[in-house]
Structure 1
Amino acid sequence: MNSVVSRTWSAVLFDLDGTILDSAPGIIDALTDTFAHLGLPVPSREEFMAYIGPPLLASFQERAGMTEVQAREALTIYRKDYRRDGAFDSAIFPGILGLLDSLRDAGVPLALATSKPEDQARAILAHFDLTSYFTVIAGASEDDSRTSKAHVVGHALDELQQAGADISRSVLIGDRIYDVEGAAAHNLPTIIVEWGYGSPAEAVGAIATVYSADRLRELLLG
């Protein structure tokens, strides 16, 4: 899985949380406030790490045992809290800006593919001056009709194609098994970054794992 990837990529899709941004502090604070607001036992920080990556609506049901109605209420509370206090409580991972510069200089179209609501993702990218790097910014829909990573990746690919990009040799960069599975639904390979929030086992199915932005640059640009 760690052999040199010798393809020339026509487009690169990036996950956001755990791939571009270390956004765990703001997410965990908002989750903590959400559980406290609902009068529920607050999971540990380590337990909350598993909530980062997959759609929160599903995590509330599968990990916290909420009904769909309860999960939707929790999601509404979380989003209000996160927008108010946590959305910008993040930091760009080391080397990412240089990598994005290199990809832009090489003329490779980039898309963001995140499970965050799309409007929220746009605001976060703008806050960190990252918007200009991306041809497409794709995220979950506010009405939750587009929530899974597979749906988001499909949306990103459609938008790239409409923008005139060649998507025939696209690759997704992410940190969780949900990225691998979402990309695989569209026959896209995935490169997993080790600095994110996933465990080594979640890299199964990825074509490579990387430990640094410099190594990722080598695999993307040669």
Structure 2
Amino acid sequence: MNSVVTRTWSAVLFDLDGTILDSAPGIIAALTDTFKFLGLPVPSRDEFMAYIGPPLLASLQERAGLPADKAQEALEIYRRDFRRDGAFNSAVFPGVIGLFESLRDAGVPLAIATSKPEDQARAILDHFELTDYFTTIAGASESDARTSKAHVVGHALAQLTAQGADVSQAVLVGDRIYDVEGAAAHDVPTIIVEWGYGSPEEAKGAIATVYSADRLRELLLG
């Protein structure tokens, strides 16, 4: 096996949606309500799946074809709806909590790097009693000044460093091409989880693809 994959990692960053949580039901329900409220044609479930992972403002512009002001309005409506009804309509993927416990026992610092707003991500992690596993929780800013995955990964690395963690051998675990590209902007490799929302083509830039939490544990801890 490639030594790049089996080396000792000094810190592990995790995406949230599609990596830790199966959050599609709540996200799609809130998106459906948003499109209906704005009188827009409602995409199919499969089409909505492509909205999960990348910054939503960009998806609303690029996929729904909304101008910047209309996309911002849609984002604000979505966030209100999601906070009210969809934020906790998720489930933790099998084996993930055991993986976190193993990494914590090994003394590996963990971070969340998500395109969700940071306060929203923290509330969700609190709800599922996952917050204590993480040294830092990094997400998008409410002002949308920090929206891209590269910005979020950079923020997570800076926060880890500020708390004394070694990020010289950091790795990101995610499920979409946006995770791969965002991490690569900081020379951080990515491991893709097959249980997420991405297609096989999105994993081409990753150093590995895993099919189970047990296999991921092997790559992260040896």
The alignment's TM-score, normalised by the length of structure 1, stands at 0.99
CA distance in 2, matches of 1:141, 1:64: 22
1:165 match: 165
Could you say what the CA RMSD is over the residues aligned between the two structures, in angstroms? Answer: 0.8
Deviations 1:158-204 (A, max 9, x none): 00000000000000000000000000000000000000000000001
Residue in 2 aligned with 1:58? 58
Residues 1:141 and 2:141 are matched in the alignment = yes
Pairwise CA distance, 1:25? 0.1
CA distance in 1, matches of 2:50, 2:186: 24
Residue 87 of structure 1 corresponds to which residue in structure 2?
A: 87
Q: Describe how 1:13-162 pairs up with structure 2 within 5 A.
A: 13-162=13-162
Q: Which residue identity lines up with residue 75 of structure 1 in the other structure?
A: L
The Cα offsets for residues 21-53 of structure 1, whole Å up to 9 and x where unpaired, read as 000000000000000000000000000000000
TM-superposed deviation, 1:6: 1.6
Structure 1 residue 3 displacement after superposition: 4.8
Instruction: Give me the whole-angstrom Cα distance separating, in 2, the residues matched to 1:134 and 1:160.
Output: 10
Helix, strand or coil: the match of 1:154? Answer: helix
- Which runs of 5 or more residues in structure 1 are unaligned? none
Q: Which ranges of 4 or more aligned residues in structure 1 deviate by more than 2 Å? A: none
CA contact (8 A) 1:111 1:138 kept: yes
Structure 2 counterpart of 1:104, one-letter code:
R
Q: TM-score, normalised by structure 2?
A: 0.99
Provide Cα deviations, 1:40-91, integer angstroms capped at 9, x if missing partner: 0000000000000000000000000000000000000000000000000000
C-alpha contact 1:177 1:198 (8 A) present in aligned 2:
yes
Q: How many residues align?
A: 221
C-alpha separation between the residues in 1 aligned to 2:86 and 2:44?
18
Equivalent position SS for 1:191 = strand
- Retained in 2: the 8 A contact 1:3–1:208? no
2:66 and 2:7 map into 1 onto residues whose CA distance is 44
Q: Does 1:174 align with 2:174?
A: yes
Paired residue type of 1:196: G
SS for the counterpart of 2:64 is: coil
Q: Deviations over 1:91-123 (max 9, x none)?
A: 000000000000000000000000000000000
Matched residues in 1 for 2:79 and 2:205: separation? 32
